[in-house]
Amino acid sequence: MSVDSYSEEAKALKKLNLEKATNFMRQYRDPDSRELKKLSAHQFMEVWSHYDKDSNGYIEGTELDGFLREFVSSANVQDVSPEAVSDAMLEELKACFMEAYDDNQDGKIDIRELAQLLPMEENFLLLFRFDNPLESSVEFMKIWREYDMDGSGYIEADELKNFLRDLLKEAKINDVSEDKLIEYTDTMLQVFDANKDGRLQLSEMAKLLPVKENFLTRQIFKGATKLTKEDIEKVFALYDRDNNGTIENEELRGFLKDLLELVKKDYDAQDLEEFEDTLLRGVERDRGGKINKKELTMILLALAKKSNEEP
Ligand SMILES: [Ca+2]
Ligand SMILES: [Ca+2]
Ligand SMILES: [Ca+2]
Ligand SMILES: [Ca+2]
């Protein structure tokens, strides 16, 4: 290598590093057209973890401002610094942007929403677009049981890989190499493993596989109004998916998961089990983890009472 080409290269590298430091998004744009390049799974993860600075699973508040400033100014052919985006412009931009991308309208960008925004490898993108959200937590618990093959109470890397492989298969994608699949698994694990123990617990998997609605967050269960017989019938029907007159197995665990979600942000299989013990001890008499309508009524009344007592 000649000295000249070396110094050219060094200059280019220096420029790239400088751009990275001032605007992280710029490296993912084509230097001429300024269009976003297709991101690999790994690059997507880089973007995500760069902007979700506190790794809480959302790009929000000042993180969101920072991302938007850099996202927009990096599209400029001239080197405008992120600060060149005025506050007024930013507010306007944010309004439009959130309108378009904040699907669940919580004012934050989650990973699924970012995945819709950035161009990515198609097969990897698919993993964020599969037939979701799930109908309910009952379906979630069925999937959980299927993929926690060793019953450890966690989805470990190999189990996650099986899950992702099946997702791709379902989407009729059969040409993903084992290496790619491992890359996808690593990336998904890094993104969703919030407590960094190298495996997914229930609450982490719940982010990867969201359900349409937690039925129990509806107003009636927040003690706002009195629980009517109709309400109870409705809840019962929601969880007794096979209509056999009792809530059991995944139906019961789906119900427990929804309950748990109301009180806890992070939870694992052990929490669910302990919760089941406490909750059923009072109402269920040795019938092997099933609850009938009467028992459900008692549980819901106890909960309504409790939430009425809380300020
Ligand atoms: Ca965050
Ligand atoms: Ca497992
Ligand atoms: Ca974890
Ligand atoms: Ca049932």
Measured in angstroms, how far is the CA atom of residue 192 from the centroid of ligand 1? 13
As a whole number, mean pLDDT of residues 152-162 equals 97
- Strand segments, DSSP code E, in the chain are 247-248, 290-291
User: 67-71, 101-105, 262-266, 305-309: which range is least confident on average?
Assistant: 305-309
Local confidence band at 16 (pLDDT 50, 70, 90 cut-offs): low
Whole-angstrom distance, CA of residue 74 vs CA of residue 34:
7
> Which one of the ligands is nearest to 289 CA?
4
As a whole number, mean pLDDT of residues 194-209 equals 93
Q: What is the predicted pLDDT for the residue at 132?
A: 63
Q: What is the predicted pLDDT for the residue at 2?
A: 53
- Look at residue 284 and tell me whether its pLDDT is greater than 80: no
Whole-angstrom distance, CA of residue 170 vs CA of residue 133:
15
As a whole number, mean pLDDT of residues 166-193 equals 90
- Look at residue 116 and tell me whether its pLDDT is greater than 70: yes
Measured in angstroms, how far is the CA atom of residue 263 from the centroid of ligand 2? 25
Whole-angstrom distance, CA of residue 135 vs CA of residue 304:
24
Q: What is the predicted pLDDT for the residue at 131?
A: 57
> Which one of the ligands is nearest to 60 CA?
1
**Chain segment 30-56, per-residue pLDDT in tens:** 988 989 999 999 899 999 989 999 888
292 CB-near residues (< 8 Å, 6+ apart): 245, 246, 247
Q: What is the predicted pLDDT for the residue at 141?
A: 96
Measured in angstroms, how far is the CA atom of residue 66 from the centroid of ligand 1? 11
More confident residue, 86 or 158: 158
Q: What is the predicted pLDDT for the residue at 11?
A: 73
Measured in angstroms, how far is the CA atom of residue 155 from the centroid of ligand 1? 24
> Which one of the ligands is nearest to 237 CA?
4
pLDDT, mean over the chain: 85
**Chain segment 212-226, per-residue pLDDT in tens:** 877 777 655 655 557
Q: What is the predicted pLDDT for the residue at 152?
A: 97
Measured in angstroms, how far is the CA atom of residue 56 from the centroid of ligand 1? 5
Q: What is the predicted pLDDT for the residue at 270?
A: 96
Measured in angstroms, how far is the CA atom of residue 244 from the centroid of ligand 3? 35
Measured in angstroms, how far is the CA atom of residue 239 from the centroid of ligand 4? 7
> Which one of the ligands is nearest to 268 CA?
3
What tokens does 286 get?
A: 């040795």
60 SS3 class: coil
Q: For the whole prediction, is pTM greater than 0.85?
A: no
**Chain segment 66-76, per-residue pLDDT in tens:** 999 999 888 87
Q: What is the predicted pLDDT for the residue at 5?
A: 63
Measured in angstroms, how far is the CA atom of residue 148 from the centroid of ligand 3? 14
Measured in angstroms, how far is the CA atom of residue 102 from the centroid of ligand 1? 15
